[in-house]
Amino acid sequence: MLDRFERYAFAALCSVNFFTSCLLFSAVSREQRAPYMDEIFHIPQAQKYCQGRFNEWDPMITTLPGLYLVSVGVIKPVVWLADYSGTILCSAAMLRFINLLFNCGNLYILYLIICRLHLKDKSRTAGRRILSALTLSTFPVLYFFTFLYYTDAGSTFFTLFTYLMCLYGCHKASALLGICAILFRQTNIIWVAFCAGSVVAQKLDEAWRVEQLKKKDEKTPSQIPLAISGVKRVARFLLEYLSTPTNIKTVILSTWPYGVVGFGFFTFVVLNNGIVVGDRTSHEACLNFPQLFYFFSFTLIFSLPLSLCYHRLVRFMQSLRKHPLLFLLMAAVYLLLVWKFTFVHKYLLADNRHFPFYVWKRIFQKHHLIRFLLVPGYLFAAWNFLDTLRSKSLFWILAFFVCLLAATVPQKLLEFRYFILPYLLYRVHVPLPSLHRLLLEFALYTAVNAATLYIFIYKTFHWPDSTAVQRFMW
């Protein structure tokens, strides 16, 4: 059981966080009362559900109706108990408030995940666990959409809840929560698969330890040298493990709930003739490999207070000297992928309300060679990403990396919201940093949140052909 003082401290922090978020929510709703951006689709659809018109659907909406169903499930009981008008309670402000509740849930789930993953020295890390959870719940891209009626807060909540149940070995409950996550956003099937992959990785770790004990070799999968001999060793182990019927049976029995969800999702894709519902013209999949490099860079920037230090830079230089041919080969591969597989979505070039528009315009469009000159930075960002996960086993890293590829590469649009879940799942597995580094991370997130909310509320502008107020946002 958690220490009583820690529970009280966390409860007090939750209260302060909710009160602060309510004040910010009030400021945002007061300035932007009408639906904005994608809310012009989400809010009317939710209001139809509030009125019981479940057979009506806006074809411009591309996600499943999880957000609207939860909204009705929360609001309708309030309508019945308070005897109010459902139309009033399904206003834009009330629907947005649902995401404020999800934000509280995300804080609690993140805290539980961190407690589960970082069990050592519990008495000395209470403050760091609490501060880590608070900081991640205010992760700027996620926190901004807490104040609008978007699917991100709910999608994150159910996906993290899915993973929490997986960590506790409640795989049936995890699979059911995974269905809820998919109802918010279809691509969450990737993170349901990651839960299954983490279970398989755990089984492989156990088998590896048994095999090494027989050979009197104490090397863990994370200590395998990055060389051809190491790759051969792991490949040989995997082939031996997966060729044994008993091992395959064990894996199937451990992961069958996720398999059921996967089969159901496959059936949906076949019947729907694709993953996207509604308008598909702007959601075409492609092999946009540089998305992975953008994610590594994004991760490096937001984890800078934790990951960047003198010793890590020294280790990077030592790695360059130790494996020069490997880094040259990786650089060549990165250059090839940037050259042949860079795709630019029409929205990225046309919609000047989003921050990625300015990132692309002021960095990538400055000169056609810029995208190639950034490759050394991508290499360091990728190395830093893997170095911060050194404590994880190779099998877990492989499972996470495969899911990361599936979550980022097929996306044609550079959209920071797509990075929320992979970033949070990466960040909770990083060893707990020192208190001063966590405070720096929290200060960075707070500064970014303050800037983005200030810009959204006060730095409005107009398009030449429209009288509507436009705002900058993620």
The pLDDT value recorded for residue 230 is 65
| Confidence band for 350, pLDDT divided at 50, 70 and 90 | confident
| Confidence category of residue 247, pLDDT binned at 50, 70, 90 | confident
**Least confident interval from 137-141, 150-154, 320-324:** 320-324
Q: What is the pLDDT of residue 229?
A: 62
Q: What is the mean pLDDT of residues 424-428?
A: 97
* pLDDT score for 196: 97
Model pLDDT, residue 308: 82
What confidence score (pLDDT) does residue 253 get? 92
Mean pLDDT confidence for 113-117: 94
Mean predicted confidence (pLDDT) in 387-406: 92
**pLDDT of res. 223:** 54
The C-alpha atoms of residue 333 and residue 336 are separated, in whole angstroms, by 5
What pLDDT does residue 217 have?
63
Q: Can you give the three-state secondary structure of the chain, one letter per residue?
A: CCCHHHHHHHHHHHHHHHHHHHHHHHHHHHHCCCCCCCHHHHHHHHHHHHCCCCCCCCCCCCCCCHHHHHHHHHHHHHHHHHCCCHHHHCCHHHHHHHHHHHHHHHHHHHHHHHHHHCCCCHHHCHHHHHHHHHHHHCCHHHHHHHHCCCCHHHHHHHHHHHHHHHHCCCHHHHHHHHHHHHHHCHHHHHHHHHHHHHHHHHHHHHHHHHHHHHCCCCCCHHHCCCCHHHHHHHHHHHHHHHCCHHHHHHHHHHHHHHHHHHHHHHHHHHHHCCCCCCCCCCCCCCCCCHHHHHHHHHHHHHCHHHHCCHHHHHHHHHHHHHCHHHHHHHHHHHHHHHHHHCCCCHHHHHCCCEHHHHHHHHHHCCCCCHHHHCHHHHHHHHHHHHHCCCCCCHHHHHHHHHHHHHHHCCCCCCCHHHHHHHHHHHHHHCCCCCHHHHHHHHHHHHHHHHHHHHHHHHCCEECCCCCCEECCEC
> How confident is the model over 359-382, as pLDDT tens digits?
999 999 999 999 999 999 999 999
For 44-94, the pLDDT digits (tens) are: 999 999 988 999 999 999 999 999 999 999 988 877 776 555 455 788 999
Average pLDDT across the chain, whole number: 90
Residue 455: pLDDT band by 50, 70, 90 thresholds? Answer: very high
Mean pLDDT value across residues 433-439: 92
* Residues pairing with 462 in the sheet: 469
Residue that wins the pLDDT comparison between 108 and 230? 108
Q: What is the pLDDT of residues 2-53, one digit of tens each?
A: 577 788 888 898 999 999 999 999 999 999 999 999 999 999 999 999 988 9
Over residues 192-224, the pLDDT tens digits come to 999 999 999 999 988 888 877 777 666 666 555
Q: What is the pLDDT of residue 216?
A: 67
Say whether pLDDT at 123 is over 60.
no
Q: Which residue has the higher pLDDT, 122 or 260?
A: 260
pLDDT, residue 29, reads 93
- 403 and 96 in contact (C-beta within 8 Å)? no
Distance (Å, whole) CA 444 – CA 303: 9
pLDDT tier at 418, thresholds 50, 70, 90: very high
